[in-house]
Amino acid sequence: MSEFTSIYSREDPHLTRAFQLMSETPLIDGHNDLPWQMRLLFNNQLSKVDLHTFNGTHTNIPKIKQGRLGAQFWSAFVRCDSQYKDAVRQTFEQIDVVHRMCQKYPDVFMFASSSQDILDAFKQNKTASLIGVEGGHSIDSSLGTLRTMYQLGVRYLTLTHSCNTPWADNWLVDTGSEPSQHDGLSPFGKQVINELNRLGMLIDLAHVTVKVMEQVLEMSKAPVIFSHSSAYSICNNKRNVPDHILTKVKEKKGIVMVNFYNDYVTCSHTATISDVADHFDHIKKIGGAEIVGFGGDYDGVKRLPQGLEDVSKVPHLVAELLRRGWTDTEVKAALGENLLRVMKEVEKVRDSLSSSPPDDVPIPYEQVENPCRTSYGYNVTNHAPEHHLAIVTLLLPLFIQAFITLSHE
């Protein structure tokens, strides 16, 4: 037991117990935006930052150690205004920065792409580092891009961020601030769900409409996750999960990983650890302790609860759950066992579908046509500038000859 732990242990027996449980079961957090901060602050130049000493983010190596972070889904996130532009390139760069974090700090991070990898990293006292792509716009409506991301280690896809894609509606539709484009999922959106099941990639329903939640929970062959969402009954924000969906998540044996952002915790700018624990209690009440987890959203939000200001403070939330009467078994389930169970089941579904071929039916061109996209492969006229140039080059001599002939008549 470290000196830090010993100091707090003398003050709070619940915290003593929290540290003990966290030494037995990995804390697995569903969503952290440190890679996005690396882009904003350093343009992904990891050579310009030392995560041992840099203190300008919610997450650094001392905070990770202090917070007993066993495994982290790092977010490969790019903004919605990159959709139809350079979203795929930017997303690959965010995937790359996670890999390079693991390479730069091999004593701290171990890249992970499976449930077993998480357990192996925990045994080595390293933080298992997984990748989740936050937003379906990152695949540019391409199943080939989705498969390539899986090959690079991506293990969940958040179907939308805060914008509709050509195949799925985002949560803002439920607020009335944006129109629905697909009444949930389009036919291609359903292809995406099936391909995610076949690949063994977790389906993340944070950021989607309730209609999309219902459709996916109905059709997915594997359990689903909410990587960073809280309980709608506690805070009526449309980013949160309503009770009837919590019930369906229980039936599907999925998981809701509680978000710490004040606006989703209390629907206001201020919150406390106790307010966050209220969401854990409510989700446990509706769906059982087996569907709840941690999804802090550190480095992706501006306002965090008092007492949960950075990654180092998470053990205090665990202590609060124990203080409220959560059993050791329930706490260990929320810490990591629930996510491990979900991930193992997703891997099992993948293995059962191993003989199924990849879906190679593309999205209809008219659903994605825009000035930044060419139509190669589709049975439509290609509007690429070089195509026009080739036609002009071929026809120009004929026009010149016709002009000469007419001028002599």
pLDDT band of residue 11 (cuts 50, 70, 90) is confident
| 58 is annotated as an active-site residue | no
Give the Cα separation of 313 and 323 in Å (integer). 16
Per the domain annotation, does 372 fall within a domain? no
Q: Are residues 279 and 200 in the same domain?
A: yes
Burial 145-180 (b: 16+ CB within 10 A, else e): bbbebbebbbbbbbbbbebbbbbbbbbbbbeeebee
Residue from 31, 137, 279, 282 carrying the catalytic annotation: 31
| 134 is annotated as an active-site residue | yes
Per the domain annotation, does 374 fall within a domain? no
Q: Are residues 388 and 281 in the same domain?
A: no
| 297 is annotated as an active-site residue | yes
What residues make up the domain containing 332?
3-367
**Residue 175 Cα to chain centre, angstroms:** 21
On the CB side of 274, how many CA atoms lie within 13 Å of its CA? Answer: 1
Give the Cα separation of 308 and 296 in Å (integer). 9
Residue from 58, 137, 182, 207 carrying the catalytic annotation: 207
Q: Are residues 337 and 407 in the same domain?
A: no
Provide the Cα torsion 149, 162, 295, 282; round to 10°. Answer: -140
Per the domain annotation, does 13 fall within a domain? yes
Determine contact, residues 259/205, Cβ cutoff 8 Å. Answer: no
Residue from 58, 137, 161, 182 carrying the catalytic annotation: 161
Two tokens, residue 135: 């937003």
Q: Are residues 270 and 182 in the same domain?
A: yes
Q: Are residues 128 and 255 in the same domain?
A: yes
Give the Cα separation of 90 and 226 in Å (integer). 23
Residue from 140, 297, 320, 330 carrying the catalytic annotation: 297
| Side chain identity, residue 44 | N
Name the residue with tokens 């997984």.
130
Per the domain annotation, does 240 fall within a domain? yes
Nearest CA-CA partner of 211 in 174, 248, 246: 174
Two tokens, residue 67: 């917070």
Give the Cα separation of 204 and 224 in Å (integer). 6
Q: Are residues 406 and 327 in the same domain?
A: no
| 161 is annotated as an active-site residue | yes
Per the domain annotation, does 89 fall within a domain? yes
List of residues 6+ apart from 23 with CB closer than 8 A = 68
Residue 25: CATH number of its domain:
3.20.20.140
Q: Are residues 358 and 404 in the same domain?
A: no
Q: Are residues 319 and 390 in the same domain?
A: no
Determine contact, residues 315/279, Cβ cutoff 8 Å. Answer: no
Residue from 29, 117, 134, 330 carrying the catalytic annotation: 134
Mean pLDDT of all residues in 52-59? 98
Mean pLDDT of all residues in 194-204? 98
| 330 is annotated as an active-site residue | no
Per the domain annotation, does 375 fall within a domain? no
Q: Residue length, the chain?
A: 409
**128-165 pLDDT per residue, tens:** 999 999 999 999 999 999 999 999 999 999 999 999 99
pLDDT band of residue 69 (cuts 50, 70, 90) is very high
Nearest CA-CA partner of 300 in 48, 76, 63: 76
Q: Are residues 354 and 401 in the same domain?
A: no
Per the domain annotation, does 274 fall within a domain? yes
Q: Are residues 189 and 71 in the same domain?
A: yes
Structural domain tally of the chain? 2
Supply the pLDDT for residue 243: 98
Q: Are residues 334 and 402 in the same domain?
A: no
Supply the pLDDT for residue 409: 47
Please report which helix (H) or strand (E) contains residue 286, including its range. Answer: helix 273-287
Q: Tell me: pLDDT of 8 over 80.
A: no
Residue from 228, 310, 320, 337 carrying the catalytic annotation: 228
- In this prediction the pTM is 0.91
Per the domain annotation, does 373 fall within a domain? no
Mean pLDDT of all residues in 358-379? 95
Q: Are residues 363 and 384 in the same domain?
A: no
Mean pLDDT of all residues in 206-222? 98
| 228 is annotated as an active-site residue | yes
**102-112 pLDDT per residue, tens:** 999 999 999 99
